[in-house]
Amino acid sequence: MSSEARDQRRKAAGAWNRTQCPFVVRRNDWYYLFMMGWSSEFRTHVLASGDPADFGKGLAREVTVLPASAAEIIPVAGQDYVSSLQPDYAGIRIAPLRWQPADQAGAH
């Protein structure tokens, strides 16, 4: 299959058919779905919903995008951390995660 045909197939599949490494976190009354797209996309989309079984269609409920691959949230002593594969896939990196209300988040 040519790379052009592969790209067309990926676009036709839509966001949900290309989800990898989904991870759901509950924070207060909201659920957050962390998901990445194709492996070559080094980013994680974060969607929010009041219902853990319904994050809508596509990326309609996206609240932010993180520069992370295969992200997971790790709570330690009241602080949340986000993990990510390193860009060269040679290990994992971890950083503190700061939750920010939507009205202070700027564009999202």
pLDDT digits (tens, 9 = 90+) for 58-105: 888 999 999 998 889 999 999 999 999 888 888 999 999 999 876 544
> Could you tell me the pTM of the whole model?
0.74
Mean pLDDT of the chain: 80
What are the Cα distances from residue 107, in Å, to 2, 55, 56, 64?
37, 20, 20, 9
What share of the chain has pLDDT > 90, as a percent?
A: 42
Residue 32 has a CB neighbour count (10 Å cut-off) of 20
First to last CA, the chain: 37
Helices (H), 1-108: 3-13
